[in-house]
Chain A
Amino acid sequence: MRPPHDLPEPPHQVSFRFGDEEIEAWEGETVATALLASGVMITGVRAMSGRSRGPYCLIGVCHECLVEIDGLANQRACITTVRQNMKVCRQTRLRPLTGEDETREQ
């Protein structure tokens, strides 16, 4: 979530990539809130129906905000905290079953 406006010390700003865009965010907020605050409403396309999806429940339940983060598909933008220089992409395909195991183990 976004930090309160009256914090004694202002929070740090971080930035990350969303596709070709540079998104500014506050340290501690989620990828979904940073994207929404930047005006990004559509975070993915459902592979089967081709329909656009975007953050909806913002509490990790509805899985509508799935994005690819640093090469890993099926990441929920609404429960992932932003990190400096992370690479986020709109998710447009199903996650491959193989080939991601090693990165996922961490």
Chain B
Amino acid sequence: MLIVGGGVVGASIAYGLAEEGAKIGILDAEDSDFSASRGNFGMISISNKGFNNLAYFRLSYASSRLWPEFASTLREQTGIDPAFDLKGKVYISVGDREFAAHAEKVAEYARRVGAEYQHDILNRADLRQMLGNVRLGERVTGGSFSPLDGIAEPLKLYSGLLNAIQRHGGSILRDHRVGRIQHQRGIFTVEGPWGSLSAPRLVIAAGLGTPDLASQVGISVKVRPQRGQMMVTERVEQSFPYPVSGLLRQNPEGTIMIGVSTEEVGYDDRTTVSVLRSLAMKAIERLPDLGSVQITRCWAALRPRTEDGYPVYQESHERPGAFVITCHSGITLAALHKRLLPQWILGGRKDALLEPFGLGRLQSASAA
């Protein structure tokens, strides 16, 4: 079985398939490619998922419940600990209006999702207690805490996945950009400057490279790049015990990550002073002590986004045996991808959680 795309999404699926005994080859293009797997915050984000799409909340939530076993299995099999911690996440609001709007949104979330949606509004004093020693900005009015969310170390996760795949006999082929996909008598042949490889099943999980490859197996899907800029700081003492939604997390070794922006600027993964400055200002407005911390590195990455922002899990009608998988939240969904996609790809049993995410929902769905 061939998997085109060696990021976190492709690797999570490959890990599951290899564990089921499938013979796996992952084809990945060059390091210089636009890679979302190096542009993420390592968050397992649930409390802000699917406000307008309950199925997407359920999918993300299910993955968060699978994460503990996923992480411990990975650690036991490889010795690499993805440092998963379902510790929860804090939201910090600045100004009365922002706090009121946030509280209203959380209440509406709870109405839509039901009892599973655990998310508590905190006043300023509660928030300070929750965050321990760190000083709150003068304009911080309140916030909230959701125990639904978790964190992992994305680089450890990624190297653990690659290690696990190889331990299960899988091959990871770097610099194997796939240009052309051919299909003959139930066998897919992928080709590139490096040569060609054939297999009866093909998984396309190539992020921004997905549309071109998917079209060659009769699947029409649109994926556009969304830029995220982020920064990492020098190492400092552990300062705030929970990640702060969409903005801050402190890693175990002391570095603080600040980000991630969301920008629609096409295929441009450069950083900009204006966006980085605004991220830094947002961080300092909330936690002013961060003003003295040195930034050591900033970077940007492009994350794939489907037309409606939700994942796509689609087998080709025209070329059965070819599967297209693309999503925005490859870390959150990693545990679910490993657990639920292999039985669909190998045995045709598509879990009910995945059903709402075929291409049928989008106008651009394949004519087939």
Contacts and interface: CB of A to CB of B under 8 A. Distances in A.
Interface string B74-117: 00000000000000000000000000000000000000000000
Contact of B134 (A74, A93, A97): A97
B253 interface: yes
Interface in A36-94: 46-48, 63, 66, 74, 93-94
A100 B294 CA distance: 12
Contact of A95 (B237, B253, B290, B296): B237
Contacts of B159: none
A47 B254 contact: yes
B234 A48 contact: no
Contacts of B198: none
Name, among A63, A94, A101, the residue most crowded by chain B CB atoms within 10 Å (CB to CB). A94
Interface residues on A, range: 10 to 19
A97 B234 contact: no
Main secondary structure of the interface of B (DSSP, over half): loop
Contacts of A97: 134, 236-237, 239, 289-290, 292-293
A96 interface: yes
Given A94-B237, A95-B234, A101 B292 contact: yes
A32 B344 CA distance: 57
Contact of B235 (A74, A100, A104): A74
A74 B256 CA distance: 14
Interface in B131-162: 133-135
A98 B289 contact: yes
Nearest to A93: B237
A93 B253 CA distance: 11
Contacts of A95: 234-237, 254
Interface of B: 133-135, 234-239, 252-254, 289-294, 296
Interface of A: 46-48, 63, 66, 74, 93-98, 100-101, 104-105
